[in-house]
Structure 1
Amino acid sequence: MLSCEDVKAAISANLDGEESPLPQDVIDAHLHACTDCANFFEQAAAMNRTLALHTPEAPAPDLSEVILDGVESEFQKGAARRATSMAFARVAMVLVAVAWLSWAVVVLLRPSGSAMGNDAYGTQLFIEAVSMRCALAFGLFFAAWQPRLIVGMLPFVGGLWMFSLGMAVRDLITGTIGGGLLLQLVLLLSTLMTLAWAWLSHVGWVMVREALRSLGSAPRSEL
């Protein structure tokens, strides 16, 4: 004979996900006829739902090491790119410095340099031209050795190139432009570009992006 205890045991087995000792239609028929077992089923089902809601979820996997490895890898790649770019920029600065120094030597050795002994103004221009080329060569050599000094050379070389360009435009209009001035413009532009390249490689584009962002930011309103 089927007892309430057998039905309750079967109900508990069903709620626990175990194999029920009684068929489901027999349990349903008994619950329809027995109020006590029906109440037991409702209470057991409610408790089972409550326990399911309060069951702690599985902890999320710790991805901090993966994230840090990714960030570190990107940082290392960026640092490697900047180091490679800086190495090429320093080689370029040395090559441009050699070009300036070679030009100074050519000016010193050419016959027209010694023919200015009786022209005080021409001698002064001759000395200044050679001195400027040697100074630019020395500055580039030193900046290639100590890249932190590049930022101080950029305004000087930039101003020298702009004024030389202005003189070249004037001579081009008057038809008196010479090859020496054109060569000077090319070397000055090469010097400016290599210095800017080295500065960006040394400092990185972070400062440039921050400066552009600060220029586009709205002013803070005072209360």
Structure 2
Amino acid sequence: MSDYLIVDCALFRESLSAALDGEEGPLPEAEVDRHLRECGACRAWQEEAARLRRSMVRQAPAVPDLTAAILATAPSPVREKWAARIALAIVGLVQSGLAFAEFLEPGAEHAGHGGGLSVIHLSNESAAWNLALGIGLLWAALHPRAAGAQLPLFGGFALVLGVVSVADVSGGQVGAGRLLTHVFLVIGLVLMFVVHREHRRRPAPAPSTADALGTGDDDLQLPEQGQPAPPAAIRHRFPRRPASRHRAA
């Protein structure tokens, strides 16, 4: 009896299965071929395994190359505009610097109004508000998407401040030096609006890319596309307890 007959056919069939998958089996190929010539059961098993593999492996549907069409319809890259953002950041730093200067000399701007401690608190409150405005300008310069959300706040504050400033100038209650500090707020508001507009003008990908390329749903047919998808299993967040329990008799 030859040596290959001593070995169980399962080992040869393992080598045949590995060969069908393009892998290397546990036995040499020459020994497997010699066994196939003399073992009809293994030859039948190999033919059945090959037939089953061909029935399970399906050819992928042909998909057209859309690279050129996508590149043709894609928007050209837009160069980032940094001038307005840099100017807005500078204005934010200046606004924050004015607030810190007011913190270092509390009550200097309101010295002529009297009031002692209340004037100092009023000055600190004004400095805190100016510092918050400076931080808001810096944040809009770093994150242009947030500029639009801050425009109503800055615009409303500038409007009310302008009306109050006109009334104070008419009554002689504020000097020209104090009014000049409000110029940076107006400049920052204008720059914030510019940054917001530039951010909105950046192109976004079109939602109907398939329609623009002329590749609708009728062009690509996947196998078994008309069959309805199986319903998804309902998953509960918490395990459900049985409705009732019965004791065994």
The percent of aligned pairs where both chains have the same amino acid is 25
Match of 1:109 in 2: 104
Matched, 1:97 2:92: yes
Q: Which residue of 1 aligns with 2:76?
A: 76
Q: Is the 8 A contact 1:168 1:181 kept in 2?
A: no
What's the TM-score, normalizing by structure 1?
A: 0.51
Q: Secondary structure at the match of 1:98?
A: helix
Distance 1:129 1:88 in 2: 30
Question: 1:205 and 1:196 mapped to 2: Cα distance?
Answer: 15
Compare relative contact order (CA 8 Å, sep 6+) and give the higher one, 1 or 2.
1
Please give the alpha-carbon distance, in whole angstroms, between the structure 2 residues aligned to 1:203 and 1:104: 31
User: C-alpha offsets along residues 31-50 of structure 1, whole Å, 9 cap, x if unaligned?
Assistant: xxxxxxxxxxxxxxxxxxxx
User: For 1:197, which of 194, 198, 221 is the aligned residue?
Assistant: 194
Deviation at 1:189, TM superposition (A): 0.8
Shift of the 111–192 alpha-carbon distance from structure 1 to 2, 3 Å rule, reads closer
| Structure 1 match to 2:141 | 144
Post-superposition CA distance 1:73-103 (Å, at most 9, x none): xx427x22xx22xx11210111011111111
The structure having more radius of gyration, on CA atoms, is 1
| Aligned equivalent of 2:123, options 117, 122, 126 | 126
Post-superposition shift, 1:205?
A: 8.5
Change (3 A) 1:142 1:205: closer
Residue type at the aligned position of 1:106: A
| 1:5-38 residue CA offsets vs partner (Å, 9 max, x unmatched) | xxxxxxxxxxxxxxxxxxxxxxxxxxxxxxxxxx
The CA distance in 2 between the partners of 1:139 and 1:152, in whole Å, is: 11
TM-fit CA distance, 1:147:
1.5
2:181 is paired with a residue whose SS is helix
Cα deviation for residue 167 of structure 1 reads: 1.0
Deviation at 1:151, TM superposition (A): 1.2
Considering fraction of residues, name the structure with more helix: 1
Match of 1:41 in 2: none
Aligned equivalents of 2:195, 2:125: Cα separation in 1: 28
Query: Whole-Å Cα distance in 1 between the matches of residues 120 and 88 of structure 2?
Result: 30
Letter of the structure 1 residue corresponding to residue 100 of structure 2? V
CA distance 1:124–1:180, change in 2 (3 Å)? farther
Over aligned residues, Cα RMSD in angstroms? 3.3
Q: In the alignment, is the contact (CA less than 8 A) between 1:97 and 1:141 conserved in 2?
A: yes
Paired residue type of 1:176? Q
Q: 1:111 to 1:157 in 2, by over 3 A?
A: closer
Aligned length: 136
Paired residues of 2:99 and 2:131 also in contact (CA < 8 A) = yes
How far is 1:112 from its partner? 4.6
Structure 1: 5+ residue stretches without partners:
1-64, 207-223
